[in-house]
Amino acid sequence: MYCASAWNIRNLKRAVREQYERFRPSVVCPTVRLRAPRGVSHVQLFSGIHRAVAADGTVEMTESDAAPLLAAGWVRDDPGDVSGIRATI
C-alpha cells in the first residue's frame, strides 16, 4: 500500500509524462545546416528556439527556420555543397 505522498508523486510524474507526450512533435522535420557569419555565437530562430553556433561555425535548424536567415545572407553548408571550395593554381 502506498502512503499519500508517494501516491501524489506517482500521479504527478504520470501527469508530467502525459503532458510531455502531448506536446512533443510527432513529425521529424528535415534539418539544414547554415554557416553563421563571423562573430555570431548564438542565434534565435523564427520558431523561438535559441541555438549556439558550433565550433565549426555552423547551425542546424529546420527549413522553415532557415528561410529568413538565408534571406539575410547566411550561407547553406550542406555536406554535398562544393560551392565554398576555391581552387588555387
Instruction: Collect all residues with Cβ–Cβ distance below 8 Å to 58 and sequence separation of at least 6.
Output: 33, 34, 35, 36, 77
Per-residue pLDDT tens over the stretch 69-82:
999 999 999 765 54
Which of the two residues, 8 and 39, has the higher pLDDT score? 39
**pTM of structure:** 0.57
Q: What is the per-residue pLDDT for 34?
A: 95
In which element (H, E) is residue 87 found? none
Per-residue pLDDT tens over the stretch 32-43:
999 999 999 999
Which of the two residues, 55 and 11, has the higher pLDDT score? 55
